[in-house]
């Protein structure tokens, strides 16, 4: 029998495969939630911080998957270069499905990482491509698991030789540790108490990040600015004179960062009521210039047209003169520079 390095043993591959399967499963489900929330699938307004948690899990399970996928490939790599490359039709199908799985999985992890860094060095629209390929990964993964169940079963039986067991364990431990370190060093983007140890976390200096500045969005507030809401118009002074509510709510960006802040302003329910609300901004043609606020959100007492952030008047970059802030909603739908709220 040919010698096999412990890392290349089927037992190691199966275990790492199981971890990777769990990470991908979590990533897929939370990604599906995020897609649904942005495409008018039913989604509740409470608990207020739920989306922050699901999107945090999405980004961190993706981060954990990177070292897990690399370790998994390392553990099977002698097989990837097997000769002859194709033995028969079932073998060709199996290898083909693995090729699709690996390519699609890499595509998801790499595009996800670039998106988190707000870097888009490709011609396609990230959300559509990332969403479509997620289904390819999931489909190919289910086929792969179904095909491999007998191998997985056999390989998870205890090994007999003590030395092999120890070196396999060492490889598994290193893999788990690497995945853990990857998560802990980035989790500060969304988990406040990890901010200090998250040396690789992007956007974790404690201040509320700005995703699109007023300048980038080409927003200029005209001197005669008025809010149109429910068939009436309001000046900023009139909005300030209305009953004010203060809430603590996060911005949970789809790109992975999230951060709590204290918002003060007028309840949306005091301005419009009786249906889903279209929120329009001063922005002329950005992708996120407007959003739809489903009725359950519009009548929630936590949903505000905010005029103040952390006790100060909103800065231009955070949405002056007023911006939407609602519970349990992705950052991309928390429209800044609002000009009108109209019932659809």
Which distant-in-sequence residues (6+ apart) come within 8 Å of 230 by Cβ?
A: 271, 272, 273, 341, 342, 343
**Which of residues 93 and 287 has its CB atom nearest to ligand MTE in the complex?**
287
Residue with smaller CB distance to ligand MTE, 126 or 288: 288
Nearer residue to ligand MTE within complex by CB, 50 or 172:
50
| Closest C-alpha among 37, 3, 203 to residue 116 | 203
Q: Which lies closer to ligand MTE via its Cβ, residue 115 or residue 175?
A: 115
Nearest to 253 by CA among 7, 11, 59, 5: 59
In the complex with ligand MTE, which residue's Cβ is closer, 319 or 321? 319
Q: Name the residue whose CB lies closest to Mo ion.
A: 253
Nearest distance from residue 228's CB to Mo ion, in Å?
A: 25
**Could you tell me which residues come within 8 angstroms of residue 185 by beta carbon, excluding any fewer than 6 positions away?**
197, 198, 199, 200, 201
Instruction: Examine residue 12 and tell whether it contacts Mo ion (CB under 5 A).
Output: no
Whole-number minimum distance, CB 59 to ligand MTE, in Å? 13
Give min distance, CB of 262 to ligand MTE, in A.
Answer: 13
Q: Which of 12, 201, 252, 253 binds Mo ion (CB under 5 A)?
A: 253
Least distance between ligand MTE and beta carbon 321 (Å) = 13
Q: How far is the CB of 37 from ligand MTE (least distance, A)?
A: 13
Q: How far is the CB of 331 from ligand MTE (least distance, A)?
A: 3
- Residue of minimal CB distance from ligand MTE? 331
Helix axes 89-116, 126-155, angle to 10 degrees: 130
Binding partner at 217 among ligand MTE, Mo ion, none, C-beta below 5 to 8 Å by kind:
ligand MTE
Q: Each residue of 123-154: b (16+ CB within 10 Å) or e?
A: eeeebeebbebbebbbebbebbeeebeeebee
Q: How many residues bind Mo ion (CB under 5 A)?
A: 4
Work out whether the CA dihedral 203, 266, 332, 328 comes out positive or negative: positive
Q: Is 211 in the site for Mo ion (CB under 5 A)?
A: yes
What is d(CA 68, CA 70) in angstroms, rounded to the nearest whole number? 5
Contact 307, 322 (CB under 8 A): yes
- Which residues contribute to the site for ligand MTE (CB under 6 A)? 208-212, 217, 251, 253, 281, 283, 286, 288-289, 318-319, 331-332, 334-337
Among the listed residues 331, 333, 335, 340, the single contact to Mo ion using CB under 5 A: 331
184 binds Mo ion (CB under 5 A): no
Q: What is the rounded CA–CA span in Å between residue 98 and residue 335?
A: 42
Q: Report which of 61, 63, 143 is spatially closest to residue 102, judged by C-alpha positions.
A: 143
Minimal distance in Å, beta carbon 118 to Mo ion? Answer: 9
**Cα–chain center distance at 211:** 15
Question: From the list ligand MTE, Mo ion, none, which binds 75 (C-beta under 5 to 8 Å, kind-based)?
Answer: none
Residues near Mo ion (CB under 5 A) are 211, 253, 331-332
């Amino acid at each position: 029998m040919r010698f096999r390095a412990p890392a290349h043993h089927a037992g190691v591959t199966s275990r790492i495969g199981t971890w990777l399967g769990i990470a991908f499963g979590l990533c897929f489900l939370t990604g599906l939630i995020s897609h649904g929330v942005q495409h008018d699938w039913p989604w509740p307004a409470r608990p207020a911080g739920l989306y922050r948690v699901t999107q945090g899990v999405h980004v961190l399970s993706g981060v954990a998957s990177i070292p897990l996928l690399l370790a998994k490939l390392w553990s099977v790599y002698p097989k990837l270069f097997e000769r002859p490359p194709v033995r028969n039709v079932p073998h060709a199908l199996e290898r083909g499905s693995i090729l699709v799985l690996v390519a699609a999985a890499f595509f998801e992890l790499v595009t996800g990482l670039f998106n988190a860094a707000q870097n888009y060095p490709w011609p396609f629209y990230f959300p559509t491509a990332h969403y479509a390929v997620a289904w390819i990964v999931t489909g190919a993964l289910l086929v792969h698991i179904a095909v491999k169940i007998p191998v997985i079963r056999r390989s998870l039986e205890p090994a007999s030789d003590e030395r092999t067991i120890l070196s396999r364990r060492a490889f598994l431990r290193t893999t788990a540790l690497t995945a853990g370190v990857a998560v802990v060093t980035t989790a500060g983007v969304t988990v406040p108490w990890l901010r200090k140890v998250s040396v690789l976390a992007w956007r974790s200096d404690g201040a509320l990040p700005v995703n699109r500045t007023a300048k980038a969005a080409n927003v200029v507030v005209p001197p005669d600015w008025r809010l149109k809401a429910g068939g009436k118009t309001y000046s900023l002074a009139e909005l300030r004179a209305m009953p004010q509510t203060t809430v603590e709510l996060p911005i949970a960006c789809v790109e992975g960062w999230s951060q709590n802040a204290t918002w003060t302003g007028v309840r949306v329910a005091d301005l419009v009521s009786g249906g889903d609300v279209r929120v329009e901004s001063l922005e002329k043609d950005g992708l996120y210039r407007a959003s739809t606020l489903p009725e359950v959100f519009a009548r929630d007492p936590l949903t505000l047209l905010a005029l103040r952030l952390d006790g100060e008047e909103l800065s231009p970059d955070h949405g002056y003169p007023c911006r939407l802030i609602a519970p349990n909603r992705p950052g991309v739908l928390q429209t800044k520079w609002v000009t009108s709220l109209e019932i659809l």
